[in-house]
Structure 1
C-alpha cells in the first residue's frame, strides 16, 4: 500500500471533511498522527484504517441513516461533525493557558493550537483554517500595532481586534553586554552578529520596519539570514555564543540564563476574530475567560505582561 505522509489538508480532502475536524480527530486520538518538525503528518494507511473503523454496516445503520436522510447533503458534514472545535493560531504561552481554560469551560469548547507567527496566523484566519489569530505587527508609518495590517490582510472581512497583553521587546545580549549594543544602528556594525526570527513573525516585522525607516538593508547585517522559530530559541542562541544579539520579548529572556535584556520597544499583543464569529459560544467563552480575575492572576504570576487592557476590544475593521 502507498503509505506516503499526508498533510491535515490532504486528509481533509480524502475524507471530505473540514481541516478543523481533522485536527479534532487527531486530538481525540481517533486518527493517528505524528510531527515532522513543527508540522503534523498522517500516514495514508492510518487514514484507511480510520475509514474502515468508522464504516457502519447497512443492517446496523438504523437510526443513523434515518437521521442522515433528513439532513440536506450540503449540511451533512456540519450536522455530524462538532462545531465546537476552535483553533487559535499564535505562539505565546498565553494561548496555551487560554486553551486549557476553554477546554474546561461549561460551553464544551475543544480548543486546539496552531503555532504560527503573526502574519501567517492572520492569513490562516482569512483562509478559514483557524477561528482566531494572534499578532504583534508594528506599522512604522502609524506607530501602531496590528490594526493597519488586519485591515489590509482581511479584505472584505469585518473583524474584531481584542487586546491580550502589552509586552516589552528588546535585544538579547551576552551577560554584561560586552559589545555595548544599545540601539538598532548597532546591528550593522561589522563586529556584531545577530540571529533573526522567521519571516512573518511579529519580531521579524519589527526589525524589518526599523531597518526600512533607517534605510538599512538586511543583507548588510551579519547573521540576518540565520532564523529561529521562537523567542526562546533566539535567546538560547545568544546564550551559547552563536550570536552577539537577538530580538525578542522580555518574557523569554527570564527563562534563559547567561543573557541580559536591553528594552527597546513596548508592543501590543492582540487576538483577531472574524465579526461573524463574535456571538458564538467560543467567542463568548474567550471574552469571559480573558476578563476573569482568575485568568489574569495566573498570567501575572508568569511576569513580563502588561494586562491592564486584557479582553478589551481595541478596534473593529
Structure 2
C-alpha cells in the first residue's frame, strides 16, 4: 500500500465528490472488506456499493486483494491502494486563445508592468499573476499549481536570496531562476510622517499600530528578522496579528487610518502617495522549470525584461535596481 496518492483530474474530483465513496475509502484504508460487509456497515444495498467500488477502481484508489472461497460462493475482499489521498486542483480564469502561464508570488508594480508589456508583445493575455507568499509560491510550483513562482526570500545565514529555499524544496535539477530586479523595502506610513517614524524599534516604542504580512511571505520573514535583531517580542508589536496579503493592501490600511505603519516596497508607497523610510534592498526572482524557461512565451518575457523601454518604465516606478535584471541561473 502506498503512503499517499495525489490526484489532479476532473474525474477524480467527480468520483470523490460523493460522500459515500469517501466513507468507503476510509473503511478500506483501515482494512480489507467485501461488498456485502461494506453494505452492512454503511446501510446500503450491495449493488450500490459495487458501483462505488468500480468508480474508485477507475482512478486507482481501490483494488481486489484476495478471494476467499466458501461452499457455494466466493468472497472478494477489496482494499485501498493508499493510506491517504490528496486532491490538488487550482481554479484560474479561462486561459487565453494562446494558452496560460500562471505566476504565483507576483506582488509589485514592476512585475505587473512586465506582464502587461509581455502580453502586449504576444497579442494575448497569456501571463497572469496572483499575489501569494514567496514560500507558498515555491511550494505551489513544486506541486504543479503554477508554472512560475515569484520570490524574495532572504537566507539569514548566507545573505543570499531564494537559492537555499529552492535547494531545500526541489531536487536541484532542471530549475531556472530569472532575476527581475532588486527592490527597496522599508516602512510605509502616512504622507509627511506625522509620527516622525525613524525605525521599527521607534514605531514599537511609540506604540504605533502595525499591519503585518501573511505568514510565509518574504516580507513577513524580514519583519520577524528585524524584530529578532532588535530583541523585540511579537507581543510588543501592536497589530502584529493583523495580516495583509499584498503591499497595496498594506498601503490601503495606512491610507484609511486603520494602522500607522507597515512594511512595503518603495514603488507602492510612491504610487499611493505614502511616506517611506528605506530599510534594505531585496532580490526578486522568477523560479521555473528549465522547460518552462525555454518556452517561446517566457523567452518573450525575458526579452521584454531586457528591453530598454521596459527597463526605463520600471525605473520610473521608483525603488528598483535593474542592474541584474534578466540574469539567468540554471541548475
Q: TM-score, normalised by structure 2?
A: 0.66
Structure 1 residues 64-121: Cα deviation after superposition (integer angstroms, max 9, x where no partner): xxxxxxxxxxxxxxxxxx7x43111212233333333333445978223232121221
1:312 aligns to 2:331 (yes or no):
no
Q: Indicate the residue corresponding to 1:146 in structure 2.
A: 162
Q: Could you tell me which of 238, 242, 246 is aligned with 1:226?
A: 242
5+ residue gaps, structure 1, are 1-8, 30-81
Aligned mates of 2:207, 2:112 — CA distance in 1: 39
Aligned mates of 2:277, 2:176 — CA distance in 1: 33
Residue 282 of structure 1 and its aligned partner are, at CA, apart by 2.8
Q: Could you tell me which of 254, 263, 267 is aligned with 1:251?
A: 267
CA contact (8 A) 1:161 1:316 kept: yes
Check 1:150–1:12 CA distance in 2 against 1; reply closer, same or farther (3 A cut). Answer: farther
Check 1:151–1:221 CA distance in 2 against 1; reply closer, same or farther (3 A cut). Answer: same
Aligned mates of 2:294, 2:272 — CA distance in 1: 40
Check 1:13–1:289 CA distance in 2 against 1; reply closer, same or farther (3 A cut). Answer: farther
Aligned mates of 2:118, 2:10 — CA distance in 1: 26
Q: Could you tell me which of 103, 108, 113 is aligned with 2:129?
A: 113
CA contact (8 A) 1:12 1:19 kept: no
Aligned mates of 1:139, 1:175 — CA distance in 2: 32
Q: Indicate the residue corresponding to 2:113 in structure 1.
A: 97
Which has the larger displacement, 112-121 or 149-158?
149-158
CA contact (8 A) 2:96 2:126 kept: no
Q: Indicate the residue corresponding to 2:24 in structure 1.
A: none
CA contact (8 A) 1:140 1:213 kept: no
Check 1:115–1:178 CA distance in 2 against 1; reply closer, same or farther (3 A cut). Answer: closer
Structure 2 SS opposite 1:273: strand
Aligned mates of 1:254, 1:151 — CA distance in 2: 35
Structure 2 SS opposite 1:219: helix
Structure 2 SS opposite 1:207: helix
1:273 aligns to 2:288 (yes or no):
yes
Structure 1 SS opposite 2:240: coil
CA contact (8 A) 1:134 1:271 kept: yes
Check 1:303–1:86 CA distance in 2 against 1; reply closer, same or farther (3 A cut). Answer: same
Aligned mates of 1:97, 1:264 — CA distance in 2: 24
Size of the alignment, in residue pairs? 251
Check 1:232–1:107 CA distance in 2 against 1; reply closer, same or farther (3 A cut). Answer: closer
Aligned mates of 1:114, 1:208 — CA distance in 2: 24
Structure 2 SS opposite 1:161: strand
Specify the structure having the higher radius of gyration (Cα): 2
Check 1:195–1:23 CA distance in 2 against 1; reply closer, same or farther (3 A cut). Answer: closer
Give the superposed CA RMSD.
3.0
5+ residue gaps, structure 2, are 1-7, 15-58, 60-87
Residue 260 of structure 1 and its aligned partner are, at CA, apart by 1.5
Aligned mates of 1:104, 1:212 — CA distance in 2: 44
